[in-house]
Amino acid sequence: MEEIEQARASRFGKDIDVESQSDYRTSFAIVQKLQSKILESLTSQQDRGLCCIYKVPYSIRNIKPEAYTPQLISIGPIHHGINSGLEGMEKQKVIYYKEFTERHKMDEEKIGNLVRRIQKKEEDSNDDRGPKTLEPWMIFEIREDLMLLENQLPFFVIREIYDEVNSARQESKSIYLLDVAAIHFGKYTFSKENKTDPSFEKISHFTDLLRQFMLCGANTRRFDFNHPIKLKYSAVMLREAGVKFQATEDKCLVNITFKKGVLKIPPLEVAYSFERLVRNIMALEQCHKPFEAHICNDIKFMDQLIDSAEDVELLVKSKIILHRLGDDATFSDMINKLCEKVGDTYTCYDDICKEMNAHYENPWNSIIATLHLVYFPNVWRGTGTFAAAVLLILTFMQTVKAFL
C-alpha cells in the first residue's frame, strides 16, 4: 500500500492531488477487492473456454516485445503490477475510479452487485474511466495500449460498465457501444464499416473487435490445409509477365481477387502504429482462431508479393499502398518481418496464387508484356517503334528487289 501511495504520476509531470488520504485508501481497498473478484471470475471463465485473453507465445513475442507490451496503462490481469513503467497510471486509475463512483452514485454495495453479475456471466465492472485530466498524448497512448492482446478485459465487462453509466444518466437515447469503440479506434479506415453484423455480438475483447472491423464485409474463402500453394513471384516480376495491379473501392483488406491478368487489392493505409495493431491481431489468430486466420493470410500474401522497395513502389503507384513510414524500403522490411514465426501450412488464397504462378510461367504473357513495357509504353514510343518497324521492312524489301 505504501509503495502505491508514494508512487507519483511522473509521466504527467506533476503529483496528483487527492482529496484526502482516507478517501484514497477507501477507494484503493475497493479496487483491490474488485480486482481480486474479477481475476477469480476470469479464471473460471477461461476454464470454460469462454475467454480468449492470451499471453503471446514467446517465439512470436521475442521478435518485437514492445509491440505486445502496454506503454501507459494496463487494464487486464496479465501486466497488472509487474510493469514498473505503468505505476503512475495505476494511481491515476484509482482517482478516476473514485470520481466515477461518486459521479454515478455507486457505493460498495452497487459495485458488489456488478461483481456478482460478472460471476454469473451476466457481466461486471471495474475499470478506470476518467477523461477530465487526460492530456492529448495520453489519449493516443491509451488507444494504442487498448489494442494489445495481453492487455484486455472481456468485452462483456466493458459493456456492463457502459450500460451502467447510461442507465445512471437516464438518457432517452444512448450511443451504441460499438459506435463508441469505432470512434475511439476511428483512425483505422476499416473501422468505419457497417457494424450490424451478428458476429459483433460475440466479440471477446478490443483486439477481437478490431479484427472484426478489419473483416467486415469479407468474402467467404475456403482454407486449404493439405497442399497450400504459395505465390512464387514478386510484384515487379509479375508486372514483367503482364499482370496489372488495381486498387479497389472495397474497404475489407482480405477481399483480394485475380481475374484476366488483373490483381485487385483493397487499398492499405499504413502508419507507424499499424505494425503494432497487426502483430496483435495475428497473435490472436495464431492462439485463438488458427483455422480462421484471415489477417495472417492477408499479410502473408502481401509478404510474398513484396520482396523489395521496388515492389512497394509499384504498389504505391497503383494506389494499393499508402504509407507514412518515410521510404518504401522501411515498408518492405516491416511486411517481411510480420510473418516471422507464423506458420505457412494453410492458406485461403490457394486459387489466386495458383493462377498467378501459372500466368507468370506462361512465356507468351512475358513476350506480350515486354512489347508493351519496352516498345509501346505510350503513344509516342509506340508510334516511333511502329515507324521504325515499317522502315526496316521497306529497306529489306528494297534490298531484296535490288538482287532480283
Residue 206 falls inside a structural domain: no
Residue 327 CB coordination number (10 Å)? 12
What is the pLDDT, as a whole number, of residue 43?
Answer: 47
333 and 398 housed in the same domain? no
Q: Contact, 373 vs 334, CB < 8 A?
A: no
Q: Which residues contact 385 (CB under 8 A, 6 or more apart)?
A: 375, 376
Residue 120 falls inside a structural domain: yes
Model's pTM, two decimal places?
0.72
**Alpha-carbon distances, residue 369 vs 306, 347, 363, 375 (angstroms):** 20, 29, 10, 10
Q: Contact, 331 vs 312, CB < 8 A?
A: yes
314 and 389 housed in the same domain? no
278 and 391 housed in the same domain? no
356 and 368 housed in the same domain? no
259-275 pLDDT tens trace: 999 999 999 989 888 99
Range of the domain at 384: 364-402
Q: Select from 130, 148, 174 the last residue of a domain.
A: 174
Q: Contact, 27 vs 97, CB < 8 A?
A: yes
Residue 263 falls inside a structural domain: yes
- Residues 265 and 387: their CA atoms lie apart, in Å, by 38
Residue 3 CB coordination number (10 Å)? 7
What is the pLDDT, as a whole number, of residue 383?
Answer: 57
Q: Contact, 326 vs 204, CB < 8 A?
A: no
Residue 292 falls inside a structural domain: yes
258 and 318 housed in the same domain? yes
Q: Select from 174, 195, 217 the last residue of a domain.
A: 174
325 and 260 housed in the same domain? yes
What is the pLDDT, as a whole number, of residue 190?
Answer: 58
Q: Contact, 314 vs 195, CB < 8 A?
A: no
395 and 335 housed in the same domain? no
Q: What are the cell numbers at 142? A: 491509451
382 and 339 housed in the same domain? no
Residue 203 CB coordination number (10 Å)? 21
Residue 318 falls inside a structural domain: yes
Determine phi and psi for 78, rounding to 5 degrees: -70, -45
Residue 76 falls inside a structural domain: yes
242 and 354 housed in the same domain? yes
333 and 370 housed in the same domain? no
Q: Which residues contact 164 (CB under 8 A, 6 or more apart)?
A: 104, 106, 114, 125
Low-confidence stretches of the chain (pLDDT beneath 50): 1-20, 41-49, 121-132, 172, 189, 191, 379-380, 382
Pairing outcome for strands 257-259 and 262-265: antiparallel
- Residues 156 and 136: their CA atoms lie apart, in Å, by 27
Residue 110 falls inside a structural domain: yes
Residue 334 falls inside a structural domain: yes
Count of domains for the chain? 3
**For residue 247, which of 235, 260, 263, 232 has the smallest C-alpha distance?**
263
Q: What are the cell numbers at 71? A: 506503454
What is the pLDDT, as a whole number, of residue 14?
Answer: 40
137 and 282 housed in the same domain? no
79 and 143 housed in the same domain? yes
